[in-house]
């Protein structure tokens, strides 16, 4: 039976979560822990589908519990939904996400909001589970094919050690006058059946593919590859030869050696076939990854629209209703309660607005990428006290909807990298359109970094440069990085205008 684990030091909260799970997720078994240590122990033993985690707890807090769970290979795949009164603080949300949390819900929460977040996390986990199983299957297939190839290679080495080769000689007319006995074990022909009876052409040019193998008194042949048919089997040989002459300089004939490379050739062809299959699997995995990202973005937008159109409107209406009676005379105690309600409603409205923009900024779909970039730069300037500038504001970037959100996430990730690592005092976002391409650059005057750092493994808290490049490749885009210690960084992405 599937399980949901709740970790909270408040028994009232645990009971509330139990009632919610019991009502909306009857197919799940509810597990609970009153502290972080017990929660980790239960998670490792029971492997739940999702963990609902409080932050403020005695002993291990929520951030520490999340980091321990995400660092354990047995529990790292379990999504963590943090539920805390600290969720209204963007710094605390960022801290939680950096610790490995998959989503955030602020206390006090609406049951519908919690249910929506749980549904999204479970859907994403289900897709990740499918992808993980496919990856495991692919790894087993690769291991099996690699093992088989190594066995074939070992056979080839053993064959070489046992001298799978034969020597031959022709006269000036191309008639075979000598061949070493080992030819029988390779071609199945006895030397007696060849000498004086089969010519060079009859032996080696039985296939049109071997017409390039010709005897010449003017030049030698070195390690040419030929393909022969012996009965119903194909054989591959390497062919080397050189002309020899009599004392008076007259061409006397040709001598040569052939190595049997059939086993190696079969292994090479099998490896080539397997590599093509692996490349196909890789393309499929990239496609699945892109589809997962699209699904995640659709869910983000759906939840954001719900928060904006439903929850946001409801809160605003409640605020207006309260304002309509604010001018009346009330007892001091009633007036105090009304003021407290004002504060709570204002806080809820602000939190829902921040959450909406974090999930999927409405401005992106209403006004487009350029206006969204301008809004994001203004937000960075206000919150981080960094000078920002938008160049090319007059250019309207018009691409497909699914590409629009990818571009926004990529540029936002580049901006986040500047805030986290660059120690910059200025950020310039430049938009240009040249030769059928949109070029969007994020420039900073920060510390920069060495180019050999570009290949580092993706960081767990973002796309990472490698992942950004893969997403750009999905719609024929590219990214270029120019950086160095002390000279800042310029990251430029190119998007074909044909993606409209």
Q: What is the pLDDT of residues 103-127, one digit of tens each?
A: 888 888 888 888 888 888 888 888 8
Out of 3.90.1150.10, 3.40.140.10, 3.50.50.60, 3.40.50.2300, the CATH code matching 2-109 is 3.40.50.2300
For 163-260, CATH number? Answer: 3.30.450.20
Report residue 335's pLDDT band, with 50, 70 and 90 as the boundaries: confident
Tokens of 409: 């996430």
Tell me, what's the pLDDT at 482?
92
Report the length, in residues, of the chain: 500
CATH architecture group of domain 361-499: 2-Layer Sandwich (3.30)
Report residue 227's pLDDT band, with 50, 70 and 90 as the boundaries: confident
H-only helix segments in 360-488: 362-367, 369-384, 401-417, 464-473
Residue 76: pLDDT over 70:
yes
Residue 4: pLDDT over 70:
yes
Give per-residue pLDDT as tens, 203-219. 776 566 666 677 778 87
- Residues in Cβ contact with 184 at an 8 Å cutoff, skipping those fewer than 6 apart: 190, 191
DSSP element (H, E) containing 349: helix 332-359
- Compute the average pLDDT of residues 317-338: 80
Residue 156: pLDDT over 60:
no
Tell me, what's the pLDDT at 462?
40
Three-state SS sequence of 306-334? HHHHHHHHHHHHHHHHHHHCCCCCCCHHH
Contact 116, 306 (CB under 8 A): yes
Residue 160: pLDDT over 70:
no
- Which candidate, 315, 295, 250, places its Cα nearest to that of 128? 295
Distance linking the first and last C-alpha atoms of the chain: 47
Lowest mean pLDDT among 372-381, 394-403, 423-432: 394-403
Pairing verdict, β 50-53 and 80-84: parallel
How much is the pTM? 0.43
Q: What is the mean pLDDT of the chain?
A: 84
Tell me, what's the pLDDT at 187?
84
Tell me, what's the pLDDT at 369?
92
Tell me, what's the pLDDT at 168?
87
Tell me, what's the pLDDT at 153?
63
Q: What is the DSSP string of 189-241?
A: --GGGTTTT-BHHHHH-SSGGGTT----SS--EEEEEEEEEETTEEEEEEEEE
What are the structural domain ranges in the chain?
2-109, 115-153+275-360, 163-260, 361-499
Residue 457: pLDDT over 50:
no
Contact 160, 263 (CB under 8 A): no
Residue 141: pLDDT over 60:
yes
- Compute the average pLDDT of residues 265-284: 88
Contact 449, 443 (CB under 8 A): no
Contact 120, 299 (CB under 8 A): yes
- For residue 276, count other CB atoms closer than 10 A to its CB: 10
Q: What is the dihedral of CA 458, 463, 468, 472, to 10 degrees?
A: 140
d(CA 18, CA 302): 26
Lowest mean pLDDT among 63-77, 181-195, 255-269, 437-451: 181-195
Q: Which range is most confident: 135-139, 181-185, 247-251, 322-326?
A: 247-251
Tokens of 495: 């998007």
Tell me, what's the pLDDT at 318?
84
% the chain with pLDDT above 70? 92
Tell me, what's the pLDDT at 38?
93
- Which candidate, 16, 91, 86, 20, places its Cα nearest to that of 54? 86
d(CA 276, CA 124): 30
- Compute the average pLDDT of residues 138-167: 74
């Amino acid at each position: 039976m599937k399980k949901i684990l709740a970790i909270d030091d408040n028994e009232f909260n645990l009971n509330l979560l139990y009632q919610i799970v019991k009502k909306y997720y009857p197919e799940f078994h509810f597990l609970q822990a009153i502290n972080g240590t017990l929660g980790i122990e239960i998670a490792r033993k029971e492997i739940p589908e999702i963990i609902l985690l409080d932050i403020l707890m005695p002993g291990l807090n929520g951030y520490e519990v999340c980091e321990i769970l995400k660092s354990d290979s047995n529990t790292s795949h379990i999504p963590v939904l943090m539920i805390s009164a600290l969720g209204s603080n963007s710094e605390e949300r960022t801290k939680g996400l950096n610790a490995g949390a998959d989503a955030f819900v602020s206390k006090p929460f609406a049951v519908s909001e919690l249910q929506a977040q749980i549904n999204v996390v479970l859907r994403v986990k289900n897709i990740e589970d499918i992808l993980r199983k496919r990856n495991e299957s692919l790894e087993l297939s690769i291991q099996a094919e690699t093992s088989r190839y190594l066995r074939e290679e070992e056979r080839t080495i053993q064959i070489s050690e046992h001298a799978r080769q034969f020597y031959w000689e022709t006269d000036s007319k191309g008639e075979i006058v000598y061949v070493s006995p080992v030819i029988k074990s390779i071609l199945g022909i006895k030397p007696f059946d060849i000498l004086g009876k089969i010519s060079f052409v009859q032996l080696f040019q039985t296939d049109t593919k071997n017409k390039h193998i010709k005897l010449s008194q003017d030049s030698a042949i070195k390690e040419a590859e030929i393909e022969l048919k012996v009965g119903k089997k194909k054989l591959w040989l390497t062919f080397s030869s050189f002309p020899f002459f009599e004392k008076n300089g007259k061409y006397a004939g040709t001598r040569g050696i052939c190595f049997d490379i059939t086993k190696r050739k079969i292994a090479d062809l099998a490896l080539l076939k397997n590599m093509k299959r692996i490349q196909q699997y890789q393309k499929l995995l990239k496609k699945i990854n892109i589809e997962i990202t699209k699904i995640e973005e659709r869910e983000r937008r759906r939840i954001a629209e719900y928060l904006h159109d439903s929850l946001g409107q409801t809160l605003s209406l409640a605020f207006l209703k309260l304002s309509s009676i604010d001018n009346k005379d009330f007892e001091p105690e009633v007036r105090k309660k009304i003021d407290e309600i004002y504060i709570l409603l204002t806080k809820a409205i602000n939190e829902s607005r921040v959450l909406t923009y974090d999930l999927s900024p409405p401005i992106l779909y209403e006004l487009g990428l350029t206006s969204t970039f301008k809004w994001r730069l203004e937000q960075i300037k206000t919150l981080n006290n960094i000078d920002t500038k938008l160049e090319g504001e007059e250019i309207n970037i018009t691409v497909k909807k699914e590409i629009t959100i990818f571009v926004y996430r990529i540029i936002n990730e580049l901006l986040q990298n500047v805030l986290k690592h660059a120690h910059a005092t200025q950020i310039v976002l430049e938009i240009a359109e040249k030769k059928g391409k949109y070029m969007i650059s994020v420039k900073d005057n920060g510390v920069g970094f060495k180019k050999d750092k570009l290949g580092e493994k993706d960081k767990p808290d973002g796309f990472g440069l490698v992942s950004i490049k893969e997403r750009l490749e999905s719609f024929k885009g590219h990214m270029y990085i120019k950086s160095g210690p002390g000279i800042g960084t310029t990251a430029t992405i190119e998007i074909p205008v044909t993606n409209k």
